[in-house]
Amino acid sequence: MSTTITKAGNRPLSAYLYKRAKLRLFSLLALPMFWIVGVYILSLFLLLVTAFWFVDPFTSKVIVGFTLDNFVSIFTVPAYISTSIRTLLIALAVTGLSVLFAVPLGIYMAKIAKPWVRNALAVAITLPLWAGYLVKIIAMRLVFTEEGFFNWALAPFGLSGPTFSIPIVILTLTYLWFPYMALPVFTAIRQIPPNLFDASSDMGAKGFTTIYRVVMPLIVPAIIAGSVFTFSLSLGDYLAAKFTGGSTQMIGSIIAANINLNPPVAAAFSMVPIAFVVIYLMVARRTGSLERM
């Protein structure tokens, strides 16, 4: 009895907050809300406001004002339109390629591999995440140079590997973001009860039918979760295009080129990937898979 009294006496803060529900809620949310609103949203908002400003043609200084020209240029300059479409297609290709690699790998790891193989593969997938992002891009650059690994390996067969171009950008981005797809897919497949596979085969389904009819529907939420990463991260990237794309221009390249030269256009262009991701999430929501994430 006496111990509980001393305990309560030792925790004046808890006692104080216990009586004040609103203050309790405030103290719980103050820090994350400050982060989300004060740092995250505010900085984004300030960036986006710049999109309505313009640049003095004489001194190329940014003038605070209101114009929609920057947005109009996104839809009227042919180079901008083609860059947006190219970037969208690259991001979709990266996502598709990641799914193509992640599903068979996930099935093998979760259902077939011995525990030590599974662990080794899990480490192999996550290991590249430990290396710097730029290091990995430069590594891809070195591998695909004219005198790099691929040409060296293909030379005995009289072949030469691809030079820096859009396919290499897709490969590089897939290399960068693959773990974000592989891990959720692997986890989702692991959670499928083994007896579902037995049931499927009892009903006469062969391997591919089981994957298509049983596994895929169950892991769609994981694929959507992974694709949000692979898709949105690819949309915003420009270093992969810069180092492995040859003359490939992506949305990020335009933003990077304009960030000092014409900040309002850069800000307006940063809306494009945002719009793409919002549309993507809305489509994903319609499939109902966001609720099950």
Chain residues binding other proteins by CB under 8 A are 55, 57-61, 77-80, 82-83, 141-142, 145-148, 163-164, 242-243, 246-247, 249, 253-254, 257-258, 260-262
State the minimum distance, in angstroms, from the CB of residue 193 to other proteins: 51
State the minimum distance, in angstroms, from the CB of residue 145 to other proteins: 3
State the minimum distance, in angstroms, from the CB of residue 189 to other proteins: 40
Smaller CB separation from other proteins, 58 or 66: 58
Smaller CB separation from other proteins, 145 or 289: 145
State the minimum distance, in angstroms, from the CB of residue 121 to other proteins: 32
Q: What angle do CA 111, 293, 114 make, to 5 degrees?
A: 15
Smaller CB separation from other proteins, 102 or 255: 255
State the minimum distance, in angstroms, from the CB of residue 242 to other proteins: 7
Smaller CB separation from other proteins, 129 or 134: 134
Contact criterion met (CB below 8 Å) for 189 and 106: yes
Q: Which helix (H) or strand (E) holds 62?
A: strand 62-63
Query: Which of helix, strand or coil describes residue 145?
Result: coil
State the minimum distance, in angstroms, from the CB of residue 259 to other proteins: 8
Distance CA 277, CA 267 (A): 16
Query: Which of helix, strand or coil describes residue 55?
Result: strand
Smaller CB separation from other proteins, 10 or 59: 59
Distance CA 82, CA 88 (A): 10
Q: Where are the alpha helices (DSSP H) in the chain?
A: 2-10, 12-19, 21-33, 42-50, 69-76, 78-107, 115-130, 133-144, 149-154, 166-190, 194-202, 207-210, 216-236, 239-244, 251-261, 263-286
Query: Which of helix, strand or coil describes residue 131?
Result: coil
Smaller CB separation from other proteins, 96 or 148: 148
